[in-house]
Amino acid sequence: MSNKTWPRAILHLDMDAFYVNVHILEHPEDAGRPLAIGGQPDQRGVVASASYEARKMGVRSAMPMSTAVRLCRNLKIAPANWERIRECSKQVMAILDDFGDVEQMSVDEAYVDLSEWDNPEDKVAEIRTAVKTKTALPCSVGLASSKLVAKVASDHDKPEGFTVVPPGEEAAFLAPLPTRVIWGIGPRTAEKLANLNIHTCEQLALADLGLLQGAFGNQAASLKQRARGVDGRSVEPDRGLAKSISQEWTFSQDVDDPDRLRSQLQKMAGKVAQSLQKRQLVAHTVTVKFRWADFTTFARQRSLEVGIDDADTIYAVAEAIWEEHWPPGQKMRLLGVGVSKIEAPQVRQLGFNFLD
């Protein structure tokens, strides 16, 4: 197909079971078996990635590992090799960079603008071959005229899928799929749509605008457009500064010891500070995340007049937030520290004052 029929050609590449397959590079004996990458069940670990053999048994990402081992008795658990994962990710992104502008979304996912090529479908085939040949890792790809449809297409025929949605066929491709596949539609929006008896993209595309406006206000027209595959977002090679940086820790057993909680808070503040300093950034807001033993979860934050990047200041603010909102004796399951309102520094901080 000549690129004259492609007003835009956008590829979405998604590495298949990335953490699992990176592990298999070093441990080929684990290929073909139910495998989960993540923490141990007795330490409240969660599944970061599951092999397709494990998925057939119901194991899914973000599932508590204790649930995963109940579903799959012969599940093997392995920790994530972050150094190798990052190395493999850099290899993949370097390959993509040879074909067009790349917008990396995560370690295992990216968009590539192939609009400059005469035959974008041929280039997609080249990319798949290059990734598999140079990294020995499988991937799935989707090619479409928009980011929204390209992402749905890459997930359409996993693993090692190759789905092309030619211009003009976006609405027909999306029509039978559930509304949840659409970018920006989460569980709550999908539930509200279901209450209107709207379950598929086709039903949403054909829905009465007035009916949708009653439920979603000025977002109604955008929902209808996205259900037809209309998405004007472009591939952005530089995604800009990070919006937030955070660390959190789930305790293996619920903790109410203030010294231990302060110590963990300080460690996390140090790691957040390192991330800021490495990127030569400062932050104006510090957030502390709380989770009690009964899973009650909330976050509290404070903003500062001057940007900060040092561990002592981040810890001082985080500790003040924690002391204000932690009732002594309250058992904690999880504790987190984060920063936001990030920017490149104009001047170094001389101290800090809380904003009202």
Based on the fold, state whether residues 92 and 11 are members of the same structural domain. Answer: yes
Instruction: Give residue 107's pLDDT.
Output: 86
Based on the fold, state whether residues 139 and 9 are members of the same structural domain. Answer: yes
Cβ burial of 278 (10 Å; 0-12, 13-18, 19+) is exposed
Q: Which CATH number covers residue 113?
A: 3.30.70.270
Residues of the chain with pLDDT > 90, as a percent, come to: 72
Span 61-119, pLDDT tens digits: 888 899 999 999 999 999 999 899 989 999 999 999 999 999 988 889 999 999 999 89
Q: Which CATH number covers residue 40?
A: 3.40.1170.60
Distance CA 244, CA 301 (A): 13
- Decide if 354 is inside a domain: no
Based on the fold, state whether residues 323 and 249 are members of the same structural domain. Answer: yes
Last residue within a domain, chosen from 170, 186, 216: 170
Candidates 139, 145, 165, 166; CA nearest to 153 is 165
Instruction: Give residue 351's pLDDT.
Output: 43
Instruction: Specify the DSSP class assigned to residue 219.
Output: G
Q: Pick the range with the lowest mean pLDDT from 116-125, 220-229, 296-305.
A: 296-305
Instruction: Answer yes or no: are the C-beta atoms of 151 and 181 closer than 8 Å.
Output: no
- Decide if 214 is inside a domain: yes
Instruction: Answer yes or no: are the C-beta atoms of 158 and 139 closer than 8 Å.
Output: no
Answer positive or negative: Cα dihedral of 189, 195, 201, 207.
Answer: negative
Based on the fold, state whether residues 36 and 56 are members of the same structural domain. Answer: yes
Please list, residue by residue across 284-299, b when 16 or more beta carbons sit within 10 angstroms of its beta carbon and e when fewer do. bbbbbbbbbeeeeeee
Residues of the chain with pLDDT > 70, as a percent, come to: 94
Instruction: Answer yes or no: are the C-beta atoms of 189 and 163 closer than 8 Å.
Output: no
Q: Which helix (DSSP H) or strand (DSSP E) does residue 211 occupy?
A: helix 209-216
Q: Pick the range with the lowest mean pLDDT from 123-127, 202-206, 339-343.
A: 339-343
- Domain ranges, residue 216: 176-227
Phi-psi category of residue 204: left, alpha or beta, with phi > 0 → left and psi -120 to 50 → alpha: alpha
Domain count along the chain: 4
Set 53, 103, 109, 202: catalytic member: 109
Active site (annotated) includes residue 109: yes
- Decide if 321 is inside a domain: yes
Cβ burial of 259 (10 Å; 0-12, 13-18, 19+) is exposed
Span 246-277, pLDDT tens digits: 999 988 889 999 999 999 999 999 999 998 98
